Chain A
Amino acid sequence: MIDGHHIEPEDPRITAALRALLAPPDDAAYWSALEATMLARLGEDEDWTAPFARWTGAGLIAAALAALITGAALVRTHDVEAREMATLLETPISYTARVATEVTETDGREATLRYVIEP
């Protein structure tokens, strides 16, 4: 068992055999070829994603334009609605006030007349 102090010592014979068994290729041409393969894969990866990247850019611009147009339309609609609402609200109030004034004035005149006429 391992107890923190004792680890089975390394066997140089086994380590040497492991090293020989798993040694990386020693040929420089192999590494150049592997590097080229990897860089080609990176290129393919970029080529594959590039159209999406362009679409993403175009999509973002289109979305921004759409948002601007929608926003402007909303503001304009809101303004029109606000004006209509103001008109709607203002008109009855003045009419009512005029009617109320008129009614009040009429009532006042009638009362005065009644006061004068009545014995």
Chain B
Amino acid sequence: MIATAVSPPTRPIAGSALHVPDDRARERELVLSAQRGSREAFAELVRAYQRRAYAVARAIVLDHHDAEDAVQDGFLHAYRALARFRPGEPFGAWLHRIVANAALDLQRRRKVRTAVTLPETIALPFRDPAESDELRRRLSAALERLTERQRSVIVLHDVEGFRHAEIGEMLGIPEGTARSDLHHARATLRRLLSDTRSDS
């Protein structure tokens, strides 16, 4: 029986409106209840983590609908694997790994299905530089020029505020590789978008 709601999120993620629950004791209580079969407790964990899980998935798959699918798959996998989770460990890190894996798996399946060939150069014409969404449009195209891993790393680091070690754990790569990917991703985007300006 869950008596109280999970503590309101207290720690903002750098540069993001997202939050994670700080109350580890409460989180542990919820996890233990969920492990004993409480759907209500798991629902609270879903409420507490779904935005952050979405951000992790979106960093990997980019597409909103794919991110949504990956989040659902991730939570379903987490629910099935809940008995194997040790309540003393941070639930968020465990969940994010599962969601990241679900997103990577989805991405692999999509790639096999669509087999899209990327153009050698960004074909978008440089229209009115004052156009408010010009940077965003060109950014979408520029992101396609990064490797999938570089794309995930720069979004997870610069947008979501994850640390290199956390990113490495999520994506299954060494921390140094995450640093290197971030360096190359930033450099590539800067080069590709150097002649763009935005109104913002």
Give the interface of A toward B (CB within 8 A).
2, 6-11, 13-26, 31, 34-35, 37-39, 41-43, 45
Determine the main DSSP class of B at the interface with A. helix
| B contacts with A, residue count (CB < 8 A) | 44
8 A-B pairs with the lowest CB-CB distances in the bound complex, closest first: A8-B186, A2-B183, A8-B187, A7-B183, A15-B158, A17-B135, A8-B183, A17-B139
Contact with A along B77-102 (1 / 0, CB 8 A): 00110000000000000000000000
B47→A35 contact, CB < 8 A = yes
Complex Cα distance, B71 from A39, in Å, reads 12
Among A14, A39, A41, A42, the one with the most B-chain Cβ atoms within 10 Å of its Cβ is A14
B55→A24 contact, CB < 8 A = yes
CB distance from B149 to the nearest CB of A (A): 15
B51→A45 contact, CB < 8 A = no
Complex Cα distance, B186 from A6, in Å, reads 12
What would 14 more interface pairs be, CB under 8 Å, given A15-B158, A24-B51, A39-B46?
A: A2-B179, A7-B179, A8-B182, A8-B183, A10-B158, A10-B186, A13-B200, A15-B15, A15-B159, A17-B136, A19-B16, A21-B136, A39-B43, A45-B76
Complex Cα distance, B158 from A17, in Å, reads 11
- Tell me if B20 counts as interface (CB < 8 A to partner A): no
> Within 8 Å CB of A7, what residues of B?
179, 182-183, 186
CB distance from B64 to the nearest CB of A (A): 8
B76→A42 contact, CB < 8 A = yes
Complex Cα distance, B113 from A100, in Å, reads 92
CB distance from B63 to the nearest CB of A (A): 10
Complex Cα distance, B182 from A9, in Å, reads 10
A22→B50 contact, CB < 8 A = no
CB distance from A23 to the nearest CB of B (A): 8
- Tell me if B7 counts as interface (CB < 8 A to partner A): no
Which partner residue on chain B sits nearest A39 by CB separation? Answer: B43
Complex Cα distance, B158 from A6, in Å, reads 16
> Within 8 Å CB of A11, what residues of B?
186, 189-190
> Within 8 Å CB of A10, what residues of B?
158, 186
CB distance from A103 to the nearest CB of B (A): 78
B76→A24 contact, CB < 8 A = no
> Within 8 Å CB of B46, what residues of A?
35, 38-39
A18→B155 contact, CB < 8 A = yes
> Within 8 Å CB of A24, what residues of B?
18, 51, 54-55, 58
> Within 8 Å CB of A31, what residues of B?
47, 50-51
A34→B50 contact, CB < 8 A = yes
- Tell me if B198 counts as interface (CB < 8 A to partner A): yes
Q: List 6 A-B contacts (CB under 8 A).
A: A16-B200, A17-B135, A24-B58, A26-B17, A41-B76, A42-B39
